[in-house]
Structure 1
C-alpha cells in the first residue's frame, strides 16, 4: 500500500494582481489562472491572501477615520460562503481536475473575515478557515477566526494545510498543522508591501516551516502595479510603502526552493514535488513523532466552532425536566 496518494504532485503558485474593488473582475483572473495551471498539468494551484476582491492595502497606509469608503466597498465586494462564487470556483476545480487554494474576504452577517478556501479536484469545498488573529492594521477590517479550521485536510492528491501571512509567526498554529501531518502547506501573503525586507523575511519563514514540518510549501503573494498603488493613495510618501515584498515559490521538505522565484510582476511558478522527500526528511527529524517529547512539551488546542448562541433541544429539555421531576417524587416517597 502506497504511503502517499500520488508519488509526484505538480504544484503551482500564482503571483497575481487583483482587479481593485471588483469581485467579478478578480474572480475572472482567478478563473484564467486555474485554467492555465490545469493546462500545465498542475495538481494544485495556490493564490494569495484575500485576493478576492483584494487585500485591504488601504488599511495599512490610511488612518482609521478615513477608511470608511474603502471598507464599505470591501463589504460590498466580499464573498459569502457558500454562494454562487464558491460554486463557480468549485466548478473550475472539478473541470480542470485541480485542487484550488484561494484567499477571500468572507462576509458573514456584519463581519468580514480573512478566509482560506480549499477546493478538492471533485469541486467540493473541503476546508474553510479564518485567520485566527488579524495582524496590526487588519484588526480594523476583519474579525477573529477560531480553531475549527486549524487543521490539515485530505484531498485526492494528499493532505493539505494552510495559514495566512503572519500566522506563520505563531509557532503553535503551525504546530497544530504539523501534528495533523500536512504534506503540502499552502501559505498566502499580500505582497507589494513594506519593501524587500518583507520578501526576505517571508523566504526565511517559509523555508524554515518546510524544514520543521517536513512538508512541501507552496507560497503565493499578491502584486500591485504602480497605477494600482496610485489608485489606493495619492500620497507619494505612502506609495513608497506599497512596493516590493513579493516572494512566490515552491519549497521542498529539505528547505530547497524547487521553482522559479517571482519577486515582481504577475505569473505562475511550477514544481514537481516528489512526495518521498517527506519520508526522507522525517526519517531524520519528525518533530511530531520520534523527535517530540510529549511528556515534556505539548499543545492544548480548542478546535470547536464558536457560536454566540447555544440552542437547547426542546425534546431533550423535556426529558431532563421529567427526569428531574421523577427523581423528586421518588425522594418524597422515600421520605
Structure 2
C-alpha cells in the first residue's frame, strides 16, 4: 500500500505577462510557503510561465494580421520554455530543495522543427528534481488557436507517486468526454486541471469530473489584474474598457464523491490547501468505476492513438 494521506496546495496567482523571471520568482516563493505548510504537491495555473494573455487579439482579424500583433506574439515566444531545457532544470532545483512534486502550466516552445510553434503544456517535476513528463493541450480553445499548436496522444501523461497516480487535462480539454475516459483508463487517482475559466459553471464541471472519475480534482486558476500587464505591450490598449480584475480565480479542490475538499476562492491571490485521504478514492468506486465494473466494453470501446505525430520523416 502507498501513502494514504497527502497534503496538496493549489496556487492562485499570476506573474507579469510575458515575464519568465517574474513567474520563476513566484514559483520559488510559493514552493517555500507550501513546504512550510507541509504540502507534498503544488499545482500552478494554466500557462503560468509565459502567462495567459487574456484580452489580447494580437492584431488578428479574419483575413489580416498587424505587425504590432506579430511583435507581441514574438515577445510571448521569448517568454516560453523548452521541455527539457535549462528552465526545467531550474524548476527541478526548486522542487528538489523543497522535496515536493511540482506541476505547472507553461508556454512550451517546440524544439524539433521550426522552433517557433508554441504549445500550452503541463510540466511535471518530481521531489528529486527530475522531469517526469509533460502534457500538451490537445485543442486550444477559441482564439487560443492563434497562439498554440495542437498536442497529440503521446503526451497523455500519468505519473506514479507514493500516494497515487496523477494526470492532467488543461481547461476545456476537460469537456472532451473521450479525453476524460482515456485518463480514467490510465487509473488516475488525482486529476489536475490548470485552467483559465473563472465562470461559476466551471465548479459544476469539477464536481462532475470528480464524481465521474471517482478521483480528486485539483483546479488552479490565475488571479490576474491589469497591474500584471506591462503597458509597453502593443496590445495593452485593448484592455481600456476591461475591469481591473481580468481573472477572478475560482481555484478549488474536489473529492471523489463530488464534495469540496477546499472551496473555491475568488478575487484574491492565494494558496489553497487540502489533506487528501487517498483511501477514499478506492471506497468511492464501490458503486461506480468508469474504467472498471461500471463499463460495457461489449457496447462501447475507445481507441487512443498515443504515437508521436511527425510532420516529416527523414531516412
- TM-score strictly above 0.5: yes
Where 1:10 maps in the other structure, the secondary structure is strand
State the match for 2:177 in structure 1: 171
Please tell me whether residue 243 in structure 1 is matched to residue 242 in structure 2: no
State the match for 1:204 in structure 2: 204
Structure 1 residues 244 and 128: CA distance shift in structure 2, 3 A: closer
Q: Distance in 1 between matches of 2:153 and 2:314?
A: 21
Q: Distance in 1 between matches of 2:87 and 2:11?
A: 19
Please tell me whether residue 189 in structure 1 is matched to residue 189 in structure 2: no
State the match for 1:141 in structure 2: 147
Please tell me whether residue 47 in structure 1 is matched to residue 44 in structure 2: yes
More helix by share: 1
Q: Distance in 2 between matches of 1:309 and 1:234?
A: 40
Cα deviation for residue 38 of structure 1 reads: 1.1
Q: Normalised by the size of structure 1, how large is the TM-score? A: 0.85
Q: 2:104 aligns with which of 99, 102, 105?
A: 102
| Contact 1:90–1:119 (8 Å) recurs in 2 | yes
Please tell me whether residue 255 in structure 1 is matched to residue 258 in structure 2: yes
State the match for 1:221 in structure 2: 221
Where 1:247 maps in the other structure, the secondary structure is strand
List runs of 5+ in structure 2 lacking aligned partners.
Answer: none
Cα deviation for residue 261 of structure 1 reads: 2.3
Cα deviation for residue 74 of structure 1 reads: 0.5
Where 2:206 maps in the other structure, the secondary structure is helix
Cα deviation for residue 298 of structure 1 reads: 1.3
Structure 1 residues 266 and 60: CA distance shift in structure 2, 3 A: farther
**CA offsets 1:285-315 (integer angstroms, 9 cap, x no match):** 0111000001101111100111223344xxx
Structure 1 residues 189 and 61: CA distance shift in structure 2, 3 A: farther
Where 1:290 maps in the other structure, the secondary structure is coil
Moved more, 238-247 or 89-98: 238-247
State the match for 1:93 in structure 2: 95
State the match for 1:318 in structure 2: none
Which runs of structure 2 are paired with 1:1-335 in the superposition (5 Å)? 2=1, 5-59=2-56, 63-64=60-61, 65-66=65-66, 67-108=69-110, 109-190=115-196, 198-228=198-228, 231=231, 233-235=236-238, 238-240=241-243, 243-312=246-315
Q: Distance in 1 between matches of 2:269 and 2:245?
A: 16
Where 1:305 maps in the other structure, the secondary structure is coil
List runs of 5+ in structure 1 lacking aligned partners.
Answer: 192-197, 313-335
Cα deviation for residue 243 of structure 1 reads: 3.4
Where 2:286 maps in the other structure, the secondary structure is helix
Whichever of the two has the greater Rg, that structure is: 1
Alignment: residue pair count? 303
Q: Distance in 1 between matches of 2:150 and 2:119?
A: 7
Q: Distance in 1 between matches of 2:46 and 2:108?
A: 12
Structure 1 residues 283 and 146: CA distance shift in structure 2, 3 A: same
Q: Distance in 1 between matches of 2:244 and 2:310?
A: 38
Cα deviation for residue 118 of structure 1 reads: 0.8
Output the aligned Cα RMSD.
Answer: 1.9
Q: Distance in 1 between matches of 2:165 and 2:187?
A: 7
Q: Distance in 1 between matches of 2:248 and 2:201?
A: 9
Cα deviation for residue 237 of structure 1 reads: 6.2
Q: Normalised by the size of structure 2, how large is the TM-score? A: 0.90
More strand by share: 2
